[in-house]
Every structure is written in C-alpha cells, then in structure tokens.
C-alpha cells in the first residue's frame, strides 16, 4: 500500500509540475540540454551528409545551412548530383528534373525563404529577437510520449497574394525537453490545408551540441519518409558559389 501511495504522489506531483512550466522555461531547458544557447549562437553554419530511402534506393543528400539563411540541398541519383534547393539570401533555385538545368523559384517562395532567414540554427533560439512568438498551448501525447505543445508563430508568410500567419506546433518531450514532433498546415499547392508532420529522433552529440540524426517527414497520420543523417560538420568550409544561381 505504501508503495502505491508513493507512486501516486510522485505521479500527481509530476502532473502538477508540468502545468507550472512556462514556455520560456521549456525553451531554456531545451537549449541547456542540447549544448547551451551560447554555443548555438556561435555557430556559423552546419553541413550534413544524409540519405533518404526511396523505393529501395538510398539517395544520398547533402545539406548546408549558414547563418543568415543561405542554404543548399543537393542529392545524388545514378551518380549525378542535382540541387534541389539553393538559396544565397536573394535568389532561390533548383535543378529541373527533366532538363537538369537550374531554374529559379517563383518570387513568392523566395520571399518566404527570406523571411525564414533567422531560423538558423534553431527557430527557438532568441526567438523574441527574431520577432517570433512562442506559446505553451497545452499538453498532448504524441509518439506515445507526453509532450508540451508549443505554438511558434514566425513572420507572416505570403500565400498567393496575401500574408498569412506562419504557425507551427512543436511537441517537446516532457522527459528530455527536446522536440520530437513538429506539425504545420500546408499553405499552398494541391495539399493546401493538410497538416504536414516531421518527427525527430536519434539525437546525437556533435562537438558538444545535440542534433536529431533522424527526421521522418510526411502528412500527419500518414506514413512518412525518413531522412537519416550520417554526419554533421559544424562551421563547415563551403564554396559560396554553390549557393548562387548559375547564369548561363
């Protein structure tokens, strides 16, 4: 009987503890747990080697993100490297799959990328300075785990011809205070209105900082596709030309 009561007390205490959390406490604990906010602030960039499994093929990916919003996603198919997305801060582009030539993204998509340029290395880092808003909206069980549900509102995003709120929901595991799921509404295209979901796992340390080495992406409640990260390099040396649209 004694044991039972103790268990209950602990559980009840945990329960009430969770409600006492504020969003900033959660975010602060998160950065403490993954290596310290200062260390993330000092990051200039990261590059990742990864792969995604598509119909039995392991497609190698190379991703680079730099402070200020420059980014690059390249993949390799049958020995050929193609750029899915490159952004030099002004122009976003990628290779057309048919012609394998570089083509610019439309101006709205590019503008929306510009607005996310403060996301590196983590949208929650100094989120208030970026003009973002974070709110603890409740508790929810996802992936079988009790989580804090945090609503993050970034700078408005442009949808067709007008601005809309850019909202995403992050689910922070109550045990480890790291996000394990992120959901957001798809704003454009045929899937507009549906909810996209990313799950994060396999957090591992890289030079003192923790990153999720596995990300499953897809639609909420439907099977997704996993990006497996093989290695991460902090502050990598990169050829800046790789980000720039190749004029003929």
Partner 1 sequence: MKKILFIIIALGAFTYAQAQDDIVLSGKELFGSITARQIGPALMSGRITDLVGHPTNDKVLYVGAAGGGIWRSVDGGSSFNSIFDKHTQSIGALAIDPKNPDMVIWAGTGETWTRNSTSVGDGLYKTTDGGSNWQKVGFDGVDLRISSIQINPNNTDEVYVGVLGPLWGDSDKRGVYKTNDGGKTWEKLLAGKPDVGCSDLILDPNDPTILYAAFWQFRRTAWSFNSGGENSALYKSTDSGKTWNKIHNGFPKGDLGRFAIAIAPSNSTILYAAVEAKEGKGLYKSTDAGKSWEYLNKDFGLVVRPFYFSRIVVDPRNPDILLKGGLFGSISQDGGKTFKGMGRMHADIHDYWFDIHNSERLYAATDGGLYRSWNRGTTMEMVNDLPLSQFYHISVDNAEPYNIYGGLQDNGSWYGPSSSPGGIEARDWNSVGYGDGFRVYRHPEKNIIYSEMQGAQGVWRYDVEKNKTSDVKPFQEEGQPKLRFNWNAAMALSPTSPDRFYLASQFLHKSDDMGSNWKIISPDLTTNDPAKQNQEESGGISQDNSGAENHCTIFTISESPLDENIIWVGTDDGNVQVTQDGGANWINVIANIPDLPKNTWCYQVAASNFKKGSAYAVFEGHTTNDNATYLYKTTDFGKTWVSLVKDNINGFARSIQEDYESENLLFLGTEFGLYATIDGGDHWSKFTNNMPATAVHSIALQRKTSDLVLGTHGRGVIIIDNISPLRALSQEVLRKDVYFFDSKPYVMKEESGFGGGSNGSQFIGRNPSRSAQIVYYLKKRHTFGKMNIDIQDANGNKVTSIDAVKQKGINIAKWNYNMKAPKVAKGKTFSFGGFASPRVPAGTYKVVMTKGKKTYTKDIEVQYDPKSGLSSEDRKLQQETMMKLYNMTQELAYMVYELDETIDYATKVATANPKSKKKATVLTNDLNSLKETLVITTGDNYVGSAEDQLREKISNLYSVIVSNYDRPSNSQLANLKVITKRFNEAKEEFSRIKNKQVGKLEKSAFSVQMEALKVKPYDEFID
Query: Comparing C-alpha atoms, which of 43, 41, 85 is closest to residue 62?
Result: 85
Site for partner 1 in 73-132 (CB under 8 A): 77-80, 97-100
Nearest alpha carbon to residue 87 among 101, 108, 73: 73
Stretch that binds partner 1, among 38-46, 121-129, 185-193, 237-245 (CB under 8 A): 185-193
Question: How many angstroms from the chain centroid is the CA of residue 240?
Answer: 23
Is 228 a binding residue for partner 1 by CB under 8 A? The answer is: yes
Query: Which phi and psi angles does 160 have, rounded to 5°?
Result: 55, -100
Check residue 145 for interaction with partner 1 (CB under 8 A). yes
Residue 217 found at the interface with partner 1 (CB under 8 A): no
Contact predicate 210/36, CB 8 Å: no
> Does the protein bind partner 1 through residue 13 (CB under 8 A)?
no
**Cβ 181 to partner 1, closest distance in Å?**
10
> How far is Cα 234 from Cα 63, in angstroms, rounded to an integer?
12
The distance of closest approach from Cβ of residue 143 to partner 1 in the complex, given in angstroms and rounded to an integer, is 4
- Among the residue ranges 1-9, 63-71, 84-92, 123-131, the one whose residues contact partner 1 (CB under 8 A): 1-9
**Which of 85, 91, 167, 234 lies at the binding interface for partner 1 (CB under 8 A)?**
167
Is the bond into 237 cis (omega within 30 degrees of 0)?
no
231 binds partner 1 (CB under 8 A): no
Structure tokens at 202: 């396999």
Q: What is the nearest approach in angstroms of partner 1 to the Cβ of residue 173? A: 6
How far apart CA 45 and CA 142 sit, in angstroms, is 31
Residue span 14-53 as binding mask against partner 1, x where in contact by CB under 8 A, dash where not: -x-------------------------------------x
Structure tokens at 80: 């050929």
User: Which of helix, strand or coil describes residue 224?
Assistant: coil
Q: Are 152 and 127 in contact (CB under 8 A)?
A: yes
Residues that bind partner 1 (CB under 8 A): 1, 3-5, 7-8, 11, 15, 53, 55-58, 77-80, 97-100, 137-139, 141-146, 151, 164-165, 167, 169, 173, 176, 178, 180, 185, 190, 192-194, 199-204, 213-214, 216, 221-223, 225-226, 228
């Amino acid at each position: 009987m004694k044991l039972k009561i103790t268990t209950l007390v602990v559980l009840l205490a945990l329960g009430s503890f969770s409600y006492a959390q504020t969003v900033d406490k959660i975010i602060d604990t998160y950065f403490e747990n993954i290596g310290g906010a200062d260390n993330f602030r000092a990051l200039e960039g990261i590059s990742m080697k990864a792969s995604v499994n598509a119909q039995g093929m392991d497609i190698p990916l190379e991703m680079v993100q730099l402070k200020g919003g420059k980014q690059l996603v390249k993949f390799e198919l049958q020995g050929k490297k193609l750029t899915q997305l490159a952004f030099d801060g002004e122009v976003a582009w990628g290779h057309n799959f048919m012609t394998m030539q570089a083509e610019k993204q439309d101006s709205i998509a590019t503008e929306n990328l510009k607005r996310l340029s403060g996301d590196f290395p983590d949208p929650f880092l100094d989120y208030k300075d970026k003009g973002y808003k974070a709110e603890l909206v409740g508790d929810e069980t996802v992936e079988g785990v009790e989580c804090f549900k945090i609503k993050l509102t970034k700078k408005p995003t442009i949808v067709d011809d007008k601005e809309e709120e850019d909202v995403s929901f992050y689910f922070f595991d109550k045990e480890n205070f790291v996000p394990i799921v992120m959901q957001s509404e798809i704003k454009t295209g045929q899937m507009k209105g549906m909810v996209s979901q990313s799950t994060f796992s396999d957090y591992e340390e890289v030079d003192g900082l923790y990153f999720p080495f596995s990300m499953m992406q897809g639609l909420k409640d439907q099977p997704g596709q996993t990006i497996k990260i093989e290695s991460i390099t902090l502050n990598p040396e990169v050829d800046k030309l790789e980000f720039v649209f190749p004029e003929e």
